[in-house]
Amino acid sequence: MVERILITGGAGFIGSHLAEQLLDSGKEVAILDNLSTGRFENIAHLVGRPGFSFAIASITDTPVLDRLASESQAIVHLAAAVGVKLVVEQPVQTIETNIMGAEAVLKAAARYRAKVLIASTSEVYGKGVRVPFREDDNVVLGPTSRNRWAYAASKMVDEFLGLAYFQKYDLPVVIARLFNTVGPRQTGRYGMVIPRFVGQALRNEPITVYGDGSQSRCFCDVSDTVRALEALLEQKEAVGRVFNVGSTEEISILELARRVKSRLNSDSPIQFIPYDQAYAPGFEDMQRRVPDITRIHALLGWRPRLNLDDILQRVADWQHSR
Ligand code: UDP
């Protein structure tokens, strides 16, 4: 029997790449997406491929979710609020989408004993100061008066709920904490730094560095990320556990701006924008965010294949082609 996998949020940036990868591996793929931040154009090229189907509906549309879950052996839950900017601006929607969405997916999966892979986020490490971040580290979040932390808290609830379904009902659940993921089809619309910097550099507009640019991140190409997700889905030993998925190549945001400028031969000036103008007054950023990927490497032998320069090239080529 061909395995059929449901991807919630499958028309999004990561979901659409995962769909493609799973179809290439000979699996059947159904996508559920309400197109709130996902785009049909991300999956248009998959329409008509054998084993591919989609439903434009919300994860809280219970009859649709129930039908799709009943037809699937596994569910990858990617449907969630996207990006810090949206989270700061739309707190109610963020919290509701993240918590109610995961709850609906786990309930539906439990009815049919489908395996669930929940995409969580490096945001759950909050203000963690011990770098690199390990899956079992303690986490420190900011106060509830700062919207940003609602995202981390809501994804933590998703993780707790997923692990609780595993413990109480023996439902096979895996948690992947995705660190900054980049690649073709990601737009700068939701604030993500690399598509924004690349677009600004290609148009010779100012490259907008928030704060002093000393904050750092590690960027992972989406092709590496979806390879990790597929492997996690297939590996029985991953069940009931949490895994970091990300690159360990750390770069400060100011250095990133310089790198983008020089690699794309751009005349863009670098412009510093205070955080409270970029986001909201009192906004707190994460200073460093680096994953420890020992756990996933030990289990699956996974580590990223593409480096930052490869990623910048792929993003620039994609933006050019549009
Ligand atoms: N950032 C920036 N300029 C931009 C967009 C983002 O300096 O135009 C910074 C942002 O403040 C953060 C980092 O780049 O420190 C990564 O931001 P992104 O939204 O891509 O991901 P995050 O790590 O915040 O989830």
pLDDT by residue (tens digit) across 54-69? 999 999 999 999 999 9
Give the separation between CA 23 and CA 248, rounded to whole angstroms. 28
Which one, of 154, 159, 118, lies nearest residue 136 by Cα? 159
Other beta carbons within 10 angstroms of residue 309's beta carbon come to 11
4 in contact with ligand 1, CB cutoff 6 A: no
* CA of 51 relative to ligand 1 center, distance in Å: 37
Ligand 1 pocket, 285 CB below 6 A? yes
Residue 105 has φ and ψ, to the nearest 5°, of -65, -45
The secondary structure element, H or E, covering residue 44 is none
Other C-beta atoms lying within 10 Å of the C-beta of residue 167? 11
What's the confidence (pLDDT) of residue 190? 82
Name every residue whose Cβ is closer than 8 Å to that of residue 145 and which is 6 or more positions away in sequence.
none
Residue nearest to atom 13 of ligand 1 (CA): 193
- The answer to whether residues 91 and 150 touch, using CB atoms and an 8 Å cutoff, is yes
- Residue with structure tokens 């770069």? 251
In which region does residue 48 sit, left (phi positive, over 0), alpha (psi from -120 to 50) or beta (all else)?
Answer: left
Half-sphere exposure of 78 (CA within 13 A, CB side): 30
**C-alpha to C-alpha distance for 155 and 169, rounded to whole angstroms:** 21
Residues in the chain: 322
Residue 1 has pLDDT above 80, yes or no: no
**pLDDT band (50, 70, 90) for residue 84:** confident
Q: Which two tokens stand for residue 43?
A: 């999956």
CB of 253 closer than 6 angstroms to any ligand 1 atom: yes
Q: What is the pLDDT of residue 237?
A: 98
Q: Which two tokens stand for residue 227?
A: 């390879």
For ligand 1, say whether the CB of 30 is within 6 Å of any of its atoms: no
Which residue owns the Cα nearest ligand 1 atom 20? Answer: 192
Residues forming the active site: 151
204 CB-near residues (< 8 Å, 6+ apart): 266, 267, 268
Q: Report how far ligand 1's centroid is from the alpha carbon of 195 (Å).
A: 10
Indicate if ligand 1 lies below 6 Å from the C-beta of 17: no
Q: What is the pTM of this model?
A: 0.97
pLDDT at residue 83 tops 80: no
Q: Are 219 and 180 in contact (CB under 8 A)?
A: yes
pLDDT tens-digit readout, 275-306? 989 887 878 888 999 999 999 999 999 999 99
Quick one: which atom of ligand 1 is closest to the CA of 215?
A: 15
Domain 4-182+221-246+290-305 has CATH 3.40.50.720: yes
Task: State residue 223's pLDDT score.
Answer: 98
**Spatial separation of the C-alpha atoms in residues 28 and 125, rounded to whole Å:** 34
What digits encode the pLDDT tens for the residues 211-250? 999 999 999 999 999 999 999 999 999 999 999 999 999 9
**Bridge partners, residue 133, by sequence:** 291
Report residue 2's pLDDT band, with 50, 70 and 90 as the boundaries: low
Q: Are the CB atoms for 219 and 153 separated by under 8 Å?
A: no
Q: In 3-state terms, what secondary structure has residue 110?
A: helix
Lowest mean pLDDT across 80-89, 208-217, 243-252 = 80-89
Q: Which atom of ligand 1 is nearest to the CA of 257?
A: 7
Mean pLDDT of the 90-109 span: 94
- Higher-pLDDT residue of 286, 87: 286
DSSP category for residue 45: G
Q: Is the CB of 209 under 6 A from ligand 1?
A: yes
For residues 6 and 318, give the distance between their C-alpha atoms in angstroms, rounded to a whole number.
27
Mean pLDDT, rounded, for 149-159: 94
